[in-house]
Amino acid sequence: MTARQLTELPHDQQHLVHEVSERLAPSFAGVFGPETIERLVVDSMDQLLATAKTTAFLPLLTERFARERLQALGKLEGSLPSAVPAVLFLCVHNAGRSQMAAGWTRHLAGDRVVVYSGGSEPASEINVAVVAAMDEVGIDIRTEFPKPWTDEVVRAVDVVITMGCGDACPLYPGKRYEDWELDDPAGLDIESVRPIRDEIRTRVEALLASLTVSAD
C-alpha cells in the first residue's frame, strides 16, 4: 500500500494524526522532525485500519504502534542507541503465539530486553483463549493488539523469532533468526492452549539465557 499524504486523509483522520503526532513529539524532540513523526503516524494508522473491526481505540493504538516504530528507527539510525537486546516475535496473525512469547519475555526479563511482535497477516483482535491462558499465569495481554511487522523494527532488532509464517517472514542477511515450531492456538479452547503457553515459556527462558539476560 502506498503511503498516503496527510492532505489526502478525511478530516477526522487528519485530526487523529495531528493529535497523535503532538503527543509523540516531546519524546522524540531533537531526534526526529515533525515530518518524520507525521509520516510514521499516518502509515501506522493506515496499517491498523486495514484490519480494525472498530476505530474506538484507533488513536491510542496508532500512538503505541508509531512510538514503537520511531524507537526502532532511532536505534537503527544511531540517534537512540541502546545496549539492551531487542527481540521480535513473528507469527501469521500476531494474535496467539507471538503475543504469548512477547508477554512471557516482558514478564521474565522486564526492561532488560526490548520486545516487539508482529504478524504477516494481522488479525483484528487477540485470541481470547490466549488472553485467558496468559491471565492464569499472571500476565495480562488484554491491552495488546495485532499489528504487522515493519521494516525498521525487523532491521533494528537483534533476534527474530518466527512461528509459522514461513516465506512471508522478512529475511535480512546476517541477522539472527530462530524458527519455533509450535501448534497454532487459533480455534483451540483454553485447555489446549495451556501446553502451548508453557512450551513458549520454556523457549523464552532458553532465549534469554542465550542473550545472557537473567529471568525473574
The answer on pLDDT for 157 being more than 50 is: yes
What's the pLDDT score for residue 3? 66
**Distance set, CA 150 to CA 65, 69, 108, 135, 166 (Å):** 10, 8, 25, 28, 16
Helix axis angle for 128-136 and 190-210, nearest 10°, is 60
| Alpha helix segments (H runs only) across the chain | 11-24, 34-49, 58-77, 97-109, 128-136, 151-156, 190-210
Q: Which residue numbers are catalytic? A: 91, 165, 169
* Across 8-22, average pLDDT: 94
What's the pLDDT score for residue 180? 96
**Per-residue pLDDT tens for 53-97?**
878 899 999 999 999 999 999 999 999 999 999 999 999 999 999
| Alpha helix segments (H runs only) across 25-150 | 34-49, 58-77, 97-109, 128-136
What's the pLDDT score for residue 64? 97
Q: Are 145 and 126 in contact (CB under 8 A)?
A: yes
In total, the chain counts a number of residues equal to 216
**Per-residue pLDDT tens for 107-153?**
999 999 999 999 999 999 999 999 999 999 999 999 999 999 999 99
**Per-residue pLDDT tens for 165-195?**
877 778 888 899 999 999 999 999 999 999 9
What's the pLDDT score for residue 8? 85
- What pLDDT band is residue 206 in, cutting at 50, 70 and 90? very high
55 phi, psi to nearest 5 deg? -105, 10
The answer on pLDDT for 2 being more than 80 is: no
Q: What's 5's DSSP letter?
A: P
Helix axis angle for 58-77 and 11-24, nearest 10°, is 50
What's the pLDDT score for residue 173? 84
* Across 22-39, average pLDDT: 97
Note the Cα 211 to chain centre separation in Å.
20
**Distance set, CA 3 to CA 21, 36, 41, 210 (Å):** 16, 13, 11, 38
Three-state SS at 204? helix
* Across 157-166, average pLDDT: 91
The residue type at 93: H
The answer on pLDDT for 1 being more than 60 is: no
3-state helix, strand, coil in the chain (%, to 5): 50, 10, 40
Give the Cα separation of 165 and 139 in Å (integer): 25
